[in-house]
Structure 1
Amino acid sequence: MTVMATKFTPEVLLSAPRRSAAVPNPAGTLALFTVSQYSFESHSKDYAIKVLDIKNRHSTQLFDDPAYTEPTWVSDTEFVFLKNGDSTTSLMVADATKPGSDPYEVSSFNTSVSNIKVKDIGNGTVAFACTAPTDAASGAMVNSADEKKPLSTARVYTSLFVRHWDAYVSENKQGLFYGALKKEKKDGPFKLQEPGLVNALAGTRLECPVPPFGDASDYDIGPEGVVFVAKDPDLNPALWTKTDLYYVPLKTFTEEKAPLPQVVKTGKLQGYTGTPVFSHGGTQVVFKRMRDRRYESDKWRLMLVPDVRDLSAVQEFYETADGEGGWDMRPEGPIVWSDDDTELYVAAEKEGRQILYKLPATPLEATELPQPLTRDGTVGDFRNLARGDGRLFLTSTSLVDNSSYSIVDPKSKEVGLVSSSSKEGKSFGLTRRQFDEFWFKGAGDYRCHALVMKPSDFDPSKKYPLAFLIHGGPQGAWGDSWSTRWNPAVFAEQGYVAVMPNPTGSTGYGQALTDGIAEDWGGRPYNDLENCFEHIADNLPYVDTNNAVALGASYGGYMINWIQGHPLGRKFKALVCHDGIFSTMSDWSTEELFFPIREMGGTLWENREGYEKWDPAAFAGEWATPQLVIHSELDYRLPISEGLAAFNALQTRGVPSRFLMFPDENHWVLKPENSLVWHKEVLGWINKWTGLDTTGLSEGTAKTTLK
């Protein structure tokens, strides 16, 4: 940002430049990244592909066409990217050292291509892979624009899913395509070799990436072929989480027909599979696997295929006889091999941070737990900096910094900042001094953790109203990371002390605390939150707990509705429920049914008592605290009827309440203009009840039919 913000407002949050992870070239001299920025003056978004000179820390804009996406290095200076048209996608090549030069087209495809990857496999050949929608029967690429439009809008389903996340499921599936790029002359253009792109999944019932959030991390390519993750086709995806790792052997990436995928068996580990990565040597594969095949928040285990030419010898890191695993952390995000393939680097949550760790690359040598390489913030993406260099290039965020690039030396653990989009928070008027944390007694024989965000002009001799933020998941956690949807600094800059507790169900504190919420949604977590509130009242003299508000989304929204009917709800001046559950008895209107089956202890007909026990609607007769209810039409995970029911109950009881809905958003509010309305409504609501300034907030920002 070129102008320093005088106050961190929703407008500043939402109009700040948003940078992607930066990817260094093989030489470690340049890094590609994209940046987008929304303007509330022009009501439009700017977008650019940029290149960062890692040594002098200067970035240069290469392109500003929003149709240009997914820049990916194909040499030390050249990169491929996608040019997206109305119904076609072109594979393009450009030179990062020649800003302003025109890119050239390698090939064009009559469909929407995404999730590209490249890999130099020797002999001047660059393996190329991507995903694209396909006809489920033939495996051929399809373009929805070419499909004949029916005269009726009716849809008929005979199996699950009917809809998933924010869309109704179609018969088309994502296919995984491979091909080879080669130059006929040293300085000539890359050309896609015959036979073009081939679907490695044709003739199977497999789909990659795994919907709805799968991406390029669901597969990898190397000189021995392709490894990818896909749902088990023999299990209904609405009822089970199981995904498997598959291997397709390839040598040239010009094979006209791919061999049938071979499944990688992992014994008793039968849950989600993720992030397969070939070693630099090309024969080993590391990946992640969960144990429970009906639990999306089980602990990830690190796994190794020592040689993809023999899939019978899969090994587990930190394996224990009881099956629990010896490392009680959950490796998230990418997995990176060291240059010499002797070490692995992973990131995992630990007490409100996402830390980078290193460990030996074979289970036999991993006799000690992984060593941390970073301490604060959230490491999101990390790559090898350069061939033979040994260092890593990191992309991170924190509660005050929305994007930073740095270099870490795994040997010395020294971290050097290369670039910060917000000048380490200064552009927002934020500093690390605003951040704090504390531990409090949980409902049982354990402690819980909470993060704190204070106003930038914080004065410890004053008292501030409390913004009590409850996270979703429920298996999730507040962390030292940036967010454009629930950013604690936005609340702090309104004049609140924002407290973010991580009670039972939270991740990053051991799997036992994470698992402890199952079949106990309104039990231990609620008691933990009560204890947290009392701890604040007894130990934070600068917080006025008599002037407090509570806010939550998803499971946090459920907890807001639960709090409404219980004593803790009377300790808040106002509540905000975003996409929360009104009644657990209607949980079966969701799409991923494995979630309520596990969390509530069975199906609705097998354990009706379990659903009834933690039903917020059963206590609606006690609802009395003013509440803002927010829900969106495209939220198929928690249908909008849940929000309407909560609002109807509040209105019928005569409780001051307000209903905000978005017809074009899903479980998250993502569009900048909608997000601005969301922030103004939320801040206007809580400020009204706590006595803080409401100028420019709430009223007049959204159309209402009744007031």
Structure 2
Amino acid sequence: MTLMAAKFTPKVLLSAPRRSAGAPNCTGEKILYTVTTYSFEEHRKTSQIRYLDAKTGQSTLLYENPAYSEPTWITEDRFIFLKNGDKGTTTVKEIKTFRGSISNLKAKRLSDKTVALACSVLTTPEGKMFDSEAEEKPHSSAKVYTSLFVRHWDAWVGKNKQAVWYGSLELQNGKTVLAEPGLVNAHPGTGLECPVPPFGGSGDFDICASGIAFVAKDPHINEATHTKTDLYYVPLKSFTESKPPKPQQVKTGKLQGYSQNPTFSPDGKSIAFTRMRSIQYESDKTRLLVIPDVEDLSNVQEFFETEDGEGGWDYKPDGIAWSHDGKELYITAEFEGTNALWKVPSSPADAKEPPTKILGAGSVTDFKLLSPKSRKLFVTTSSLVDNSSYSVLDPRDQSLTLISSSSKQGKSFGLSKKQCSDFWCKGAGDYKVHALVMKPSNFDESKKYPLAFLIHGGPQGAWGDSWSTRWNPAIFAEQGYVVVTPNPTGSSGYGMALQNGIKEDWGGKPYNDLVNCFEYIGTHMPYVDMNRAVALGASYGGYMINWIQGHPLGRKFKALVCHDGVFCGLNQYCSEELFFPLHDFGGTLWDNRATYEKWDPSRFTGEWATPQLVRIHPAPPAPVAVSSLNVLDLDYRLPITEGLAAFNVLQSRGVPSKFLTFPDENHWVLKPENSLVWHKEVLDWINRYASAEGDECASVVEKTGSMKI
């Protein structure tokens, strides 16, 4: 049963059940998924494995244990899952316990009695499964490095790497047995790491009856300065081979960037995957590629290839699935504020026209094929008002049948699609800028509402019609704001010209796009009180907040919130992925210092809250104020000193300001208790200056209980 929230508050958001993508069995009648829920009353998280009856929509609890994860079908009625144990062990239920860290289960049924299994395992340089208990404990915490890339995201780089391991499961008299020789490292002694950190998962490898395909960074090129990952193929006679052959690298000519999403055809003879061209651009356009026959890895064919190398389709394919007959590919790609699902013939020679969009509402987060007989797809989606929906899509007529919505399509949160709209406004050049709008659920057009102006990170990213537990527009809307989330220059899903336009122009066209968007709101949205506007941003959005602060647009806002924003452009080399500034700022700090300096927010700190506009006492509110939310000690993408520097400037200039930090978080605030504090501090801050609902926010955050599934 789902309880209706009296009001959508941070506590409701963070305590609402979070469902994984659904995993249908081969008939599509049963859907496995996990649900995690956090209770602020008990201060603990619960985790469940459940299955959903696709016909009735009835959900059944199978297990409730925080150590259980990754339920994976191996037959129509049987599945395996992981149990994380004490002292570094992992159990593949009900098969075997391993002294090591196992994740990213993937299974493929090969016969009535055999199932191929693959997973990722933390592996030693010698190619063995890493056993934390057996390792000799050092007496010092010292770390010594002699090359680039000493830490990544939120962890110091160590000697042990993730690797793909494989094995064979035998179905015997109602039991599942791991055949000898057990789990085997698919690429020992190669120096290859898969999945690719920090966000790689089961999508980085795939299996078929004849082998394994996986992607890995080139071990001969420094990963701090390059984005090159290659596709490899390991042919196997069976999944019981104790010594696999050496992985065969797939060559892709001038495409030298990230390789992603290897996916075997149903017969295992072909592989579809994506690859970027640039070797130093993490957000380059992905190209859809296919190897028609794994017996000839030199024959790699590109979809929509053009002589100039730009490609004939202007969007970025991501997730991939083959149709059961192997004649079509289904792919996801961002498109104008959505993550849409498309179909295209599986042969580039037959792909005469751009892909056909078969689902464009909301955002597709996962999709899987159902039975060959149905020829339909099981799709997991979300939207600005709905945190998780499971549906069945018929790609032939694009009909969509809803099976289950975790939030009753937003009703459980008191949200509805009528709160959502969008607009297009003039950009800084010969293009238009798209913005999404979310209004309060009790919106009255005859009233005036303050504006919450949200700026996305990336910068090659976008706001979309999707759910988030970190930056959720509905949270601000339900505080009484009209929320506008613009997608200016640098945004993805609007063609590569707009996205690439931000290169070496961080504070140029994107800033002017935002100025135009702000002016459009004032002219075309009379229900917005432009004198009570606030702006918030994280990562690149945080950079833009610091940039805005030193420029005229900053004087238009009553308050600003900067989360993890760059303070000084010359400090880009404090980050770990140096390929990022090398691309976006056009070279090294010493060869192109002028660009780093040109877009440096710290150059304009003399304009931060000028004396004429700043009131340094609590009331009445200051015209300009910043809450500096640079997080954190574990944020290796953007060190905490960037936030401290911004805060120190504000304090030194007498600008009302506050500093919030979480030493146990990375670039994101993920722990529920920390996130609740984050939301409270942010909402208290903007409400103080925009006078949305004042102290009511804090009381609602404290009193609203958690939702139950």
Same fold (TM over 0.5): yes
Question: Are 1:34 and 2:2 matched, yes or no?
Answer: no
Question: Are 1:402 and 2:382 matched, yes or no?
Answer: no
Contact 2:634 2:667 in 1 (8 A): yes
Question: Are 1:362 and 2:347 matched, yes or no?
Answer: yes
Q: Which one of 248, 255, 262 corresponds to residue 276 of structure 1? A: 262
Per the TM alignment, residue 696 of structure 1 is displaced from its structure 2 partner at its CA by 6.1
Question: Are 1:205 and 2:204 matched, yes or no?
Answer: no
Change (3 A) 1:90 1:614: closer
| Correspondence 1:148-159 to 2 at 5 A | 148-159=136-147
Change (3 A) 1:460 1:500: same
Question: Are 1:130 and 2:119 matched, yes or no?
Answer: yes
Per the TM alignment, residue 463 of structure 1 is displaced from its structure 2 partner at its CA by 1.0
Per the TM alignment, residue 155 of structure 1 is displaced from its structure 2 partner at its CA by 0.7
Per the TM alignment, residue 149 of structure 1 is displaced from its structure 2 partner at its CA by 1.5
**2:230 corresponds to:** 244
Question: Are 1:263 and 2:252 matched, yes or no?
Answer: no
SS of aligned partner of 2:483: strand
SS of aligned partner of 1:466: strand
SS of aligned partner of 1:176: strand
Matched residues in 2 for 1:226 and 1:304: separation? Answer: 16
TM-superposition CA deviations, 1:384-407 (whole Å, max 9, x none): 022332000000000000000000
SS of aligned partner of 1:357: strand
Matched residues in 1 for 2:146 and 2:558: separation? Answer: 48
Matched residues in 2 for 1:146 and 1:574: separation? Answer: 54
Contact 2:88 2:132 in 1 (8 A): no
Q: Which one of 132, 142, 149 corresponds to residue 161 of structure 1? A: 149
Task: Give 2:106's aligned amino acid.
Answer: K
Contact 2:439 2:482 in 1 (8 A): yes
Contact 1:551 1:560 in 2 (8 A): yes
Matched residues in 2 for 1:700 and 1:326: separation? Answer: 51
**2:627 corresponds to:** 628
| Correspondence 1:574-589 to 2 at 5 A | 574-589=559-574
Listed as ranges, the gaps of 5+ residues in structure 2 are 610-623, 703-709
TM-superposition CA deviations, 1:4-56 (whole Å, max 9, x none): 11111011111111000001001111000000111111111111000001011
Change (3 A) 1:389 1:700: closer
Change (3 A) 1:269 1:3: same
| Correspondence 1:324-473 to 2 at 5 A | 324-332=310-318, 334-473=319-458
Per the TM alignment, residue 234 of structure 1 is displaced from its structure 2 partner at its CA by 1.1
SS of aligned partner of 1:346: strand
Per the TM alignment, residue 698 of structure 1 is displaced from its structure 2 partner at its CA by 6.8
Contact 1:139 1:203 in 2 (8 A): yes
Matched residues in 2 for 1:645 and 1:496: separation? Answer: 30
Change (3 A) 1:173 1:9: same
TM-superposition CA deviations, 1:34-80 (whole Å, max 9, x none): 00111111111111000001011111000001111100000000001
| Correspondence 1:536-547 to 2 at 5 A | 536-547=521-532
**2:621 corresponds to:** none
Contact 1:453 1:498 in 2 (8 A): yes
TM-superposition CA deviations, 1:615-644 (whole Å, max 9, x none): 000000100121001121111000000000
**1:667 corresponds to:** 667
Task: Give 1:328's aligned amino acid.
Answer: D
**1:227 corresponds to:** 213
Task: Give 2:423's aligned amino acid.
Answer: F
| Correspondence 1:153-192 to 2 at 5 A | 153-183=141-171, 185=172, 187-192=173-178
Matched residues in 2 for 1:606 and 1:60: separation? Answer: 61
Matched residues in 1 for 2:206 and 2:281: separation? Answer: 25
SS of aligned partner of 1:433: helix
SS of aligned partner of 1:661: coil
SS of aligned partner of 1:648: helix
Per the TM alignment, residue 352 of structure 1 is displaced from its structure 2 partner at its CA by 0.5
Contact 1:80 1:91 in 2 (8 A): no
| Correspondence 1:628-667 to 2 at 5 A | 628-630=627-629, 631-667=631-667
Matched residues in 2 for 1:34 and 1:244: separation? Answer: 32
Per the TM alignment, residue 151 of structure 1 is displaced from its structure 2 partner at its CA by 1.1
Per the TM alignment, residue 276 of structure 1 is displaced from its structure 2 partner at its CA by 0.2
**2:69 corresponds to:** 69
Per the TM alignment, residue 528 of structure 1 is displaced from its structure 2 partner at its CA by 0.3
| Correspondence 1:63-142 to 2 at 5 A | 63-93=63-93, 105-122=94-111, 124-136=113-125, 138-142=126-130
Per the TM alignment, residue 367 of structure 1 is displaced from its structure 2 partner at its CA by 0.6
Per the TM alignment, residue 442 of structure 1 is displaced from its structure 2 partner at its CA by 0.2
SS of aligned partner of 2:216: strand
Per the TM alignment, residue 331 of structure 1 is displaced from its structure 2 partner at its CA by 1.4
Listed as ranges, the gaps of 5+ residues in structure 1 are 94-104, 703-707
Per the TM alignment, residue 188 of structure 1 is displaced from its structure 2 partner at its CA by 2.9
Question: Are 1:304 and 2:290 matched, yes or no?
Answer: yes
Matched residues in 1 for 2:143 and 2:333: separation? Answer: 42
TM-superposition CA deviations, 1:196-243 (whole Å, max 9, x none): 111011011101000111101000000110000000111100000010
Matched residues in 1 for 2:373 and 2:305: separation? Answer: 31
Contact 1:339 1:388 in 2 (8 A): no
In the superposition, the TM-score normalised over structure 2's length comes to 0.96
SS of aligned partner of 2:476: helix
Task: Give 2:128's aligned amino acid.
Answer: A
Question: Are 1:320 and 2:306 matched, yes or no?
Answer: yes
Q: Which one of 493, 505, 513 corresponds to residue 520 of structure 1? A: 505
Per the TM alignment, residue 87 of structure 1 is displaced from its structure 2 partner at its CA by 2.8
Contact 1:271 1:293 in 2 (8 A): yes
Matched residues in 2 for 1:218 and 1:319: separation? Answer: 24
Matched residues in 1 for 2:699 and 2:114: separation? Answer: 61
SS of aligned partner of 1:12: helix
Change (3 A) 1:383 1:12: same
Contact 1:164 1:592 in 2 (8 A): yes
In the superposition, the TM-score normalised over structure 1's length comes to 0.96
C-alpha RMSD of matched pairs (Å):
1.4
Task: Give 2:644's aligned amino acid.
Answer: L
Matched residues in 2 for 1:173 and 1:47: separation? Answer: 28
Matched residues in 2 for 1:267 and 1:169: separation? Answer: 30
Contact 2:304 2:311 in 1 (8 A): yes
Contact 1:405 1:420 in 2 (8 A): yes
Per the TM alignment, residue 89 of structure 1 is displaced from its structure 2 partner at its CA by 3.9
**1:692 corresponds to:** 692
SS of aligned partner of 1:11: helix
Per the TM alignment, residue 701 of structure 1 is displaced from its structure 2 partner at its CA by 10
**2:587 corresponds to:** 602
Change (3 A) 1:58 1:416: same
Matched residues in 1 for 2:182 and 2:692: separation? Answer: 62
Contact 1:327 1:369 in 2 (8 A): yes
TM-superposition CA deviations, 1:366-425 (whole Å, max 9, x none): 111111111210011000022332000000000000000000101111001000000000
Matched residues in 2 for 1:435 and 1:699: separation? Answer: 26
Question: Are 1:253 and 2:248 matched, yes or no?
Answer: no
Question: Are 1:147 and 2:135 matched, yes or no?
Answer: yes
- The number of residues matched between the two structures is 687
SS of aligned partner of 1:559: helix
Task: Give 1:479's aligned amino acid.
Answer: G
Per the TM alignment, residue 274 of structure 1 is displaced from its structure 2 partner at its CA by 0.3
Identity score, percent: 63
SS of aligned partner of 1:562: helix
Per the TM alignment, residue 146 of structure 1 is displaced from its structure 2 partner at its CA by 2.6
Matched residues in 2 for 1:88 and 1:402: separation? Answer: 33
TM-superposition CA deviations, 1:122-169 (whole Å, max 9, x none): 363211111111111x10011223321211111100112111000111
User: Relative contact order: is structure 1 or structure 2 higher (C-alpha 8 Å, sep ≥ 6)?
Assistant: 2
Moved more, 461-470 or 142-151: 142-151
SS of aligned partner of 2:546: helix
**1:50 corresponds to:** 50
Task: Give 1:169's aligned amino acid.
Answer: V
Contact 2:627 2:685 in 1 (8 A): yes
Contact 1:682 1:698 in 2 (8 A): no
Task: Give 1:113's aligned amino acid.
Answer: I
